[in-house]
Amino acid sequence: MNQNRKAVIAAARRTAVCPRGGALAMLQADELAAPVLDQLIVDAGIEPGDVDCVFLGNALYGGGNPARLAALRAGVPQTVAALTIDTQCCSGLDAILMGARMIEAGAAEIVLAGGTESFSRAPIRMTRPAGRGAPSVAYDRPAFAPAPFDDPDLAEAAAQLAAETGTTKEAQAAYAVASHQKAVAAQEHLLQRLVHAGGCFPEKDGFTRNLSLRTALRAPVLAGTQDTGLSAATIACEADGAAAVLLMSEDLFHQRFFQPANGNRQAGLKILTGHSAGGSPGDPALVPIEVANAMFSELDIGAGELAATELMEAYAVQAMVTAERLNLASEGVNRTGGALSRGHPIGASGAILVVHLFDQLTGEEAPAEGARNLGMALIAAAGGLGSGMLVSPFV
């Protein structure tokens, strides 16, 4: 990224996250995202016509450019371009990184970026017949890597990681219970980040609950062995939801929100750097470790300097091994719970991580200008992809 011009997150919002078939089941992906984009425009005090472009991540759509549909629903002028990005689980975070790079390149001043997903309304996928008289073939997911590369079922790959690292079923269950405990404690606080448009969006995440270790351990093993296997308690559930941020150039944010003499001083998050990388398609869970180390090296920092880390919890073992190998302080990781306690709306999950960083680092206890209080978002994706972002308060 260009070191001379930075992007600042001026506002961040998300919907509640609800399990597939739950409270958001009747909404298409673009219908989930539109009120989030609309609220961001209000939060930042700009006009819809001030937006230069819109980027949204999505993984399960069947075409139609959901970013464009969502932008038009949100009242963004039809002259504003919109682009849908598909890097599976990384999509929402990659969309924000793309928006930041547009700003750094001088190609935009204000960008809306994030992700959206409706598992409930995703199209049923089928391949067309290969020849006359041949049947169409239904499939649950496309290939994420071609032969001769490995393309394992993601749960099986995570189960293999658990077996290789000796991460027991009990340890994974305990991690999931802790995720729910943190999410339950944060429910009231998170209300300020949730969009409640039209009364059809819940005021809390639908999957979060008081999960006991005993209940978590009763969940049957879905992948792997009885000793280190994965269960419904330690795999994030399929979910619906949307999340996005409003990005501004550093100069524009300073002009609008940093005028102490007029009593106008609003905190934002400066995007210090971000990386998207690839690794082995057969072992996707560990790619974010290399992404994080690359960002640490670029900024010459260590994990100990992070005040907050939002780490994707698609699988408990994935998050546990990543945190251990990066030496992340447990008290700073997923302070308000993770995907195990709310669900995994694939295209939105990376953006949700960034929304939570914004919430944690721009509150009343945000540090004075110049103080080091760094945050990191980190996520892996099918096909051996990983993305990350490092941010700091900008006030």
What token pair was written down for 236?
């994030």
**Distance in angstroms (rounded) separating the CA atoms of residues 339 and 312:** 7
Decide: 304 and 281 in contact? Cβ < 8 Å.
no
Q: Dihedrals φ, ψ of 57, to 5°?
A: -90, 145
**Distance in angstroms (rounded) separating the CA atoms of residues 304 and 308:** 10
**Distance in angstroms (rounded) separating the CA atoms of residues 137 and 135:** 6
Which architecture does CATH list for 7-123+237-394? Answer: 3-Layer(aba) Sandwich (3.40)
H helical segments located in 45-165: 66-73, 91-104, 154-165
Decide: 359 and 193 in contact? Cβ < 8 Å.
yes
**Global pTM exceeds 0.85:** yes
pLDDT in tens for each of the 395 residues of the chain? 445 789 999 999 999 999 999 999 999 999 999 999 999 999 999 999 999 999 999 999 888 899 999 999 999 999 999 999 999 999 999 999 999 999 999 999 999 999 999 999 999 888 888 888 899 988 888 899 999 999 899 999 999 999 999 999 999 999 999 999 999 999 999 988 999 877 789 999 999 999 999 999 999 999 999 999 999 999 999 999 999 999 999 999 988 886 554 444 578 999 999 999 999 999 888 999 999 999 999 999 999 999 999 999 999 999 999 999 999 998 999 999 999 999 999 999 999 999 999 999 987 555 444 445 899 999 999 999 999 999 999 87
